[in-house]
Amino acid sequence: MEDVVITGVGAVSAGTVGADCLFRRLAEGQSLIRPWSRLSALGFGNPSCVFIDSETWLAVDARLGRLEPEWGPQTRLALCAATEAWQHAGLGAQGVERGGVFLASNKHTFDEIQLCALARHMNWERERLQLDDFLLAGGTCPEAYFHKQQDQAALALAHRFGLQASHGAHGEACAAGAMAIGAAMQSIRAGLIDVALAGAAETMCNFMPLVAFSVVGALADGEHLQGGEISRPFDEARCGFVMGEGSAFLVLESASHAARRGAHPLARVSGFAGLLEACRITASADDGSEYARCMRDALQDAGLSPDAIDHINAHGTSTPTNDACEALAVKQIFGARIAEIPITANKSALGHSLANSGAVEAVLSALTLYRQTLLPTLNYQHACSPCSGLDIVTSARTASIRSVLSNSFGFGGANACLVLEVA
Amino acid sequence: MTGIARVKLHLPHLHCAMGCDWEDVWGGLGSPTVPGLAPWPDELMSASAHIAREPELSPYGVDRKLVRTMEKQARMALAGAGRLLDAWHPGAGSVAERAETGLFMGLPTIDEPLPGLAVLESWHAYGGRDDWNATLMRETPPFSGLSLLNSSACAHIAATFGLNGPIAAYSPFADAGLSALIDGVHAVAEAECRHAVIGAVSTKLDPLQPLQHAYWGSGGAERQRLPGEASAFLLASADAARNDAVLLGYARGCHSTHDDRGDTVSDLIGQTLEMGGYARTSVGWVLSNQPWQAAHKESLSRALFAFAPLHLPIETRFGYVGPAAATLGVGLVLEGMRRKRRWLTQGTRWEALPMDAPCSLLVMHSPMGQVAVALIGRAGL
């Protein structure tokens, strides 16, 4: 069985292009969450999110060269993050014979602007939608309508980097990023491919997803807390998540392939579990047992006991239910030792970028291992009862870390855990 | 036997416009199906579609309120998986035995508006006097957050039937169905789970679907492409016995939409046969969906030249069913192996002929150039 190493990472988030830059900002305790006037204008009580602003888009596009009409926002972010990871891995123009793309992205729907364009083509005298007029008029270029297709970004990466052996778009909700990385790791480990670009791209900071997640009560409403204070995983005052967007990619490679070309691994991916819950459609098991089962399987896959884990990169969404369940779950796995394991929740600064969250947290976990530096969880002040007794990291600090457990738990009961170790 | 050749493929089940029983569907393949009325204006494009009947979910104890939050795709998937699981372990106590069974699904998407077209229509009926954003806020369905997520169909199956093994949900095109098959079989072969439910469902029939078809297609032919509804499931289980149906080989790739000289399909078929240890002459049946681009059609017809009399185009009977074409194709192969028959086309005439060749080949194309190929035959030959 092949060992799997990480030889390159890349990331794009709000106002930040580059994984190192992102790591540095988070280490400095910066929050990327801020109010967006566009959402205020739409009538949202909580206009705060981690959105890719126009300056970041300019920086992203500057790195891509000529933009193809079929590249939508997700594809542009994915190309930018993946290109950084590819170059970081030192692959450059080198061809890879047995390479694959494993991309995570959830379904995107019309945004409010597209809906308004659609509504303009309603013939209300005949009370029907003039679809042919909509087609002909377009409103934007014809390709724009298809920018949301999940396969676009995966295919763009496959073509750009010549990765033909395997390509697919994972869509397992908030666990999809970790699922894509886990699937890539399994394919390399089984000897099916040598190199994989694995990661995610998500652009959900627009009206329809925000409305959709608001009405199920998952998003913070902005009533008691505003801006960067809202996202506070494991804190007593947490009240929901903040939407985020961005992209993150890792180059995964068989250790033998990396060694042959003299690449220097940042970390190893040694364990993965991606499991279904047979529970409820809207929530996990209240006692954390399903999250715990997934963590246990990932540790088993890595051949590690819980004692070997030095750090947990938590899913930590800042929703009351998720954080309580995750706290109960880590206590089940690690017992009394949980008080000594530093825990970081990157969503305190990055918001929840759904499919991308598992990917960007894997990138940050790899850099944590490489730099031996723990990142902080912002806004954590007082633990609620289930979350008490955890060592939540509140400011960056150096530490000796040999292994990280990175958790991703999806809405609807798809859970994924990754184990990363020092190279 | 080693690896994937030790994983048995069995218990194919389907839900489609031709029915949900293999006797009806297999027998019906000889006669053209009459499509129903598509739910969109006929001046735009094809007004017909192969519409499946509404699946019956009450036997599975699914709450009516929950059913109302589900897309028809999710309901068809739930029904398809339910019939498979009933056939696998009928009777009490089955849920415990299903624990740690995996679920691998190909799930398509359609860019339908939320809220639906009816809301946009009524907004216009009021002359657009209502505030646009307030209208959207009010009319967005409360569970749209769930229906937005591709994995919701998986979650419904897991929660209803007690599956809690490994999961993968692939999106959104025909190759997603074969990816679900390939990775589900690998999950069993590598002992991640002892059994894996593998399935796929068709694209939602939505008035905006013709827009996508027109865009992806290379001309007038796509205007004749009939959409269809289907879900198709099968089970992959460890420890295949001699003569059980197994996945022998596969390959996945990507064909540029502009390159009509590329031999991607031929190359992938060659890789698949090599992996399975068979020659082209051993293939007795080739099933494929219809490629979208002229370049892909050229490539497929070149590749199929060696198999000319053995080809069955799945869409001719079932319509365009997206990822479900792959698992439907696997179901047809498994059913053919059981009956020792294969359906072949001679022009417009379909014939069920004896099947004595050792393996069948599936070729799946997706609109943006993805191609997946799988070889299915008997274990231990």
Of A151, A158, A173, the CB nearest to B172: A151
| Closest CB from A105, A150, A274 relative to B166 | A274
User: Would you tell me how many other CB atoms lie within 10 Å of the CB of residue A78?
Assistant: 33
Among the partner residues B121, B134, B158, nearest to A276 by beta-carbon distance: B158
**Highest mean predicted confidence (pLDDT) among B22-26, B115-119, B157-161:** B22-26
Residue B194 to residue B190: CA distance in whole angstroms: 9
Residues 138-177 of B with CB under 8 A from A: 140, 142-146, 148-152, 154-156, 158-159, 161-173, 175-176
Quick one: A167 and A63 in the same domain?
yes
Residue A132 and residue A152 share a domain: no
Which chain B residues are within 8 Å of A131, Cβ to Cβ?
40-41, 44, 207-208, 210-211
- Is A412 found in the same domain as A373? yes
Among A101-110, A337-346, B186-195, B306-315, name the one with the lowest average pLDDT. Answer: A101-110
| Contact at CB, B154 and A172, closer than 8 angstroms | yes
Burial B237-264 (b: 16+ CB within 10 A, else e): beebeeebbbbbbbbbbbbbbeeeebeb
**Can you tell me which residue has the tokens 């967007």?**
A245
- ipTM of this predicted complex? 0.87
pLDDT digits (tens, 9 = 90+) for B248-279: 999 988 876 666 666 888 999 999 999 999 99
* Among A127, A211, A415, the residue to mutate for chain B (most B Cβ within 10 A): A211
Peptide bond into B172 cis (omega under 30): yes
The answer on A342 and A215 residing in a single domain is yes
Q: Could you tell me if A89 and A195 lie in one domain?
A: yes
**Which chain B residues contact residue A180 at CB under 8 A?**
none
Beta bridge partners of B166: A275
Average confidence (pLDDT) over B138-154: 70
Cβ atoms of B4 and B189 within 8 Å: the answer is yes
CATH at A64: 3.40.47.10
pLDDT at res. B93: 46
* A128 and A273 part of one domain: no
Lowest mean pLDDT among A95-99, A235-239, B217-221, B320-324: B217-221
pLDDT at B41: 62
Asked whether residue B10 carries a pLDDT value surpassing 60, the answer given is yes
Give this prediction's pTM: 0.91
Point out the residue among A107, A119, A280 whose CB comes nearest to the CB of B148: A107
> Among partner residues A142, A168, A412, which is closest to B170 by beta-carbon distance?
A168
Work out the mean pLDDT of chain B and round it to a whole number.
84
Distance from B201 to chain A by nearest Cα, in Å?
14
Q: Which domain holds residue A131?
A: 113-138
Q: Which helix (H) or strand (E) holds B88?
A: helix B72-88
Instruction: Give, in order, the Cα–Cα distances in Å from A55 to each of A15, A77, A98, A377.
Output: 7, 13, 36, 26
- Whole-number pLDDT of residue B97: 61
Residue A388: count of CB within 10 angstroms of its CB: 13
Beta strand ranges found along A292-345 (DSSP E): 311-313, 342-344
Q: Would you please indicate which residues of A are annotated as catalytic (active-site) residues?
A: 174, 315, 352
A182 and A123 in a single domain? The answer is no
Helix (H, G, I), strand (E, B) or coil at B359: strand
User: What pLDDT sits at residue B82?
Assistant: 92
Among A310, A312, A370, residue whose Cα is nearest residue A346 = A312
Cβ pairs A/B, distance under 8 A: 233
Looking at CA atoms only, how far is residue A373 from chain B in angstroms? Answer: 32
Both A336 and A363 in a single domain?
yes
pLDDT exceeds cutoff 90 at B100:
no
Q: How confident is the model at residue B291 (pLDDT cuts 50, 70, 90)?
A: confident
- Contact predicate A253/A89, CB 8 Å: yes
pLDDT in tens, chain A (423 residues): 899 999 999 999 999 999 999 999 999 999 999 999 988 887 777 899 999 999 999 999 999 988 888 888 999 999 999 999 999 999 977 778 899 999 998 876 666 666 676 666 666 555 555 656 665 665 555 566 666 677 788 888 988 998 888 888 888 889 999 999 999 999 999 898 999 999 999 998 987 788 778 777 788 888 888 899 999 999 999 999 999 999 999 999 999 999 999 999 999 999 999 998 877 777 788 899 999 999 999 999 999 999 999 999 999 999 999 999 999 999 999 999 999 999 999 999 999 999 999 999 999 999 999 999 999 999 999 998 899 999 999 999 999 999 999 999 988 789 999 999 999
Establish if A408 belongs to a structural domain.
Answer: yes
Chain B residue whose CA is closest to A101: B253
Residue B92: which pLDDT band, with cuts at 50, 70 and 90? Answer: very low
Nearest alpha carbon to residue B211 among B320, B73, B111: B111
- Judge: B150–A165 Cβ closer than 8 Å, yes or no: no
> Hey, what domains does chain B have and what are their CATH numbers?
3-133+137-237 (3.40.47.10), 245-378 (3.40.47.10)
In this structure, the strands spanning A99-104 and A122-123 are unpaired
Residues A372 and A274 grouped into a single domain? yes
Structure tokens at A128: 């029907």
Residues of A in contact with B134 (CB under 8 A): 43
Q: Are residues A90 and A102 in the same domain?
A: yes
What's the structural domain count of chain A? 2
Contact across the interface for A142 and B215, Cβ inside 8 Å = yes
- Cβ contact A168–B132 (<8 Å): no
Q: Does residue A143 fall inside a structural domain? A: no
What DSSP element (H or E) covers A152? Answer: helix A150-161
- Do A204 and A288 lie in a common domain? yes
Check residue A114 and give its pLDDT. Answer: 67
Asked if residue A340 and residue A244 are part of one domain, the reply reads: yes
Find, in chain A, the residue whose alpha carbon is nearest to that of B178: A168
Residue B274, min C-alpha distance to chain A (Å) = 15
d(CA B229, CA B212): 16
Instruction: Say yes or no: B124 contacts chain A, CB-CB below 8 A.
Output: yes
Nearest to B154 by CA among A300, A175, A337, A145: A175
